[in-house]
A and B are shown apart, each in its own frame.
Chain A
């Protein structure tokens, strides 16, 4: 009797597992298109290629990465939605277009909740705070002291109004109780050059943007915004709990896989499973780390929650920036 029950349970489990596969019989029927809102060769593009290459192998269909750069990644999502409707059109995106773009742009042309279904987070990336290597500021406490000497005592660079680097710096300033002068640039290349040239004092940036200049002895990293030390720059101390920052201080950029809202739920589930398995591969994790991302697999619901959390968190930072203006 027990044996029978066990067998029945197994059969039931197998049937359940097979159910989604039945619903998407024959999927994918053709090549997949994955829209990326950044140019070929950029970090989000490389990330997309690292994930889609094994994904194509697993699905038995080629995947075309469609680069549609512009407006901080918003164009990529717009174009994905224009092409949508065949269950073969998807996208990868950084957090901005799903969390802050609705606030910083007049009209993104899409509604995150109504038009987009999260599939899974792919990876997260912390930012480091870097200063000129010859600066007197020795550590994070020294930085907060210098910044707190008077309002806007220090100037920092970012990659644009409303960018992750800008918002992270403003979050940091609010938590540390200081105010800094924001100098917007358009790329990390300009920010690092300006710090190295002594024109501005500091900047929050992707670790891989700071690394070459740190190795060249021109920049120094004071802290990192993740909850744990980051393997790409293991010696950089975590900011949380230091220099008056709260213990739960954390600011990360992330990158996720998304689908248009009308995508078959079974397809979304299949993609989530496949991508999670890909991200569990140590070789893939290593490739991601080399370009500054740490794999962050999870459920679709988990990504949805992250979108809601970050929209609220960055929304609060944007409120403060607007109030200060």
Chain B
């Protein structure tokens, strides 16, 4: 079956009322759980899993997928409005979305995120349809050395995110990497920093860390400083509509973010959280005036949102073409298919074309629905800001606790989020940037595990990083970028002199 015929079959299948209704259900639910801080796609899909026994396998998959990519849309809403990432992937969206919302342009920030999410998804779908075969081969070709080198490049590229104070930035990244060490070391099996708690053996819960650093810390900060209320004030219609200047700033970041996300999404194990961070870093890198970032740059919303949405689409590539789930949520969806007696894999395209193409078509339909659903909702979301903080903040804390609990059902994680929130508040007081901590936390274990794994496989020969072409490319690119930044920094220092450093932590 050709691509065109396949798509036609897919749309014919996905547009049947009995299937479409599950797509609508999925994306609507996805948006909602995305908006709620901490309650992520993982928890929602786990809860929906028993229901999938009673509906067809195709409809079940379409619904669960809808929850997954729908959550990426919703996650940005609370990030932008409340500096409270609905999902870890959207944490970075808060860096520029929140300042923009505080300056009275919440509507524009939301519009940007929705439009970028949609465009990123469309890009992801195009990549999925045209390049699925190539991407799945790339996913298999990537070895431990390649991942390690790529993550080093990512670290170098991202180390400048939102901090004009390099020492403070590095401190946060290193702290994040150290926190990433908590738990059982994959390579040696040694238990590190677990203080005798089995709950920490699998590491610190990412959701607890993200919600604590951003959400809970923000709530504490606002309780201490009630004058910060009344951000929203009166919302005039014109603040919802982006200016021509805003629109002009969107397309390129969306393309770059979407391309980056499409690539990272297809690589098993890297995930969409990383892709949105790296997209943000990339935008800051290529910007002519990087100092605008952290104060409400449209590019800082458009890039990451396009990236995490395209990654959510291409994450299906290894799952569907190889039967290899790239992240825990994909593993869950694969499990849902197996319950129905379907083993996803290279044979699926031939054995069940209506499932593969139906799913692809549902991505298109679902994203269109999300756009249609969310654009009119912008006004309603923004009015959330008019809820008095004395009602809003207790509610937020309840949702954060529920969300964190929903990941593993452990009270321990709720205590963790409270502790992390306190630390996050102290960090914010000292003007450290929590986004960098989160980045170190995500990247650190990936670098460590893959570096040591690559050396294990090469029997200790470090040349493996230069002998493998993919790895060599990333090593050289990382070195070049490092040199470039150093040269640039020296040049700037000469030009600007010792200007007072402005930092973008808040």
Contacts and interface: CB of A to CB of B under 8 A. Distances in A.
A75 B186 contact: no
B338 interface: yes
Contact of B408 (A41, A70, A74, A192): A70
Given A39-B332, A189-B326, A215-B347, A67 B186 contact: no
A167 to B, nearest CB: 12
Contacts of A196: 140, 322
B324 A216 contact: no
B49 A41 contact: yes
Given A70-B198, A70-B199, A211-B345, A216 B322 contact: yes
Contacts of A86: none
B201 A162 contact: no
Interface stretch (A105-113, A135-143, A237-245): A105-113
Given A194-B143, A197-B141, A40 B189 contact: no
B186 A71 contact: no
A213 B348 CA distance: 12
Contact of B325 (A66, A181, A189, A213): A189
B328 interface: yes
A42 B331 contact: yes
B383 interface: no
B453 interface: yes
A41 B331 contact: yes
Contact of B339 (A39, A46, A105, A183): A46
Interface in B319-342: 322-326, 328, 331-336, 338-339, 341
B343 interface: yes
Given A183-B453, A183-B456, A109 B343 contact: no
B191 interface: yes
Contacts of B332: 39-42
Contact of B268 (A42, A104, A107, A190): A190
A214 to B, nearest CB: 9
B188 interface: yes
B504 to A, nearest CB: 34
A75 B269 CA distance: 24
A85 interface: no
A79 interface: yes
A212 B345 contact: yes
A184 interface: yes
Given A189-B326, A216-B346, A161 B188 contact: yes
B46 A213 contact: no
A285 interface: no
A184 B187 contact: yes
B343 A212 contact: yes
B430 to A, nearest CB: 33
Nearest to A50: B339
Contacts of B179: none
B457 interface: yes
A217 B323 CA distance: 13
Contacts of B46: 39-41, 67
A96 to B, nearest CB: 13
Interface of A: 39-43, 45-46, 49, 66-71, 74-75, 78-79, 104-109, 152, 155, 160-162, 181, 183-187, 189-190, 192-194, 196-197, 199-200, 208, 211-213, 215-218, 290-291
Interface of B: 42, 45-47, 49-50, 139-144, 184, 186-189, 191, 194, 196, 198-199, 201-202, 268-269, 318, 322-326, 328, 331-336, 338-339, 341, 343-347, 408-410, 453, 456-457, 459
9 contacts: A40-B332, A66-B409, A79-B409, A193-B324, A197-B141, A197-B143, A213-B346, A218-B322, A290-B338
Given A39-B42, A70-B199, 13 more contacts: A41-B334, A49-B50, A70-B198, A105-B198, A106-B191, A106-B196, A109-B198, A161-B187, A161-B189, A212-B324, A212-B345, A212-B346, A216-B345
* Shortest beta-carbon contacts, A-B, top 10: A161-B189, A212-B345, A212-B323, A41-B335, A216-B346, A40-B46, A41-B332, A71-B201, A199-B143, A189-B324
